[in-house]
Structure 1
């Protein structure tokens, strides 16, 4: 099993990533994990897929123009930078 650990800034492990195939094997061996998975699905429903049209009118025209200018400035700075 190839686990990946996620750590905080101090190096303390805060989470573990289990490869999906290993997770499926564990589910087959331990029925109680299936209940955990079902509960997790209830707590975290699948995100809705949005279209750009869903966001029309959610910010003012002035804010959109300000953001667009910022993006253009950032792009120009990036293109003109030398690494």
Structure 2
């Protein structure tokens, strides 16, 4: 395999370049590697589950209570 190594200023290898023909041969044998070529569109957008654990349960409960209170007040105003 004819690969090229990229190095930083200290001479440590930081990347590798594989000729496209060899990459195509490898990905033909290992289909799962094709997912590395292009990021999935939905992976670029954060999902709500990405933020799970960002706030404490106590804070989440307080926010929920406040939201429910605001909704009740709003419904009483527009009724």
TM category (shorter chain) comes to 0.3 to 0.5
TM-score normalised to structure 1 length: 0.46
Bigger Cα Rg: 2
TM-score normalised to structure 2 length: 0.48
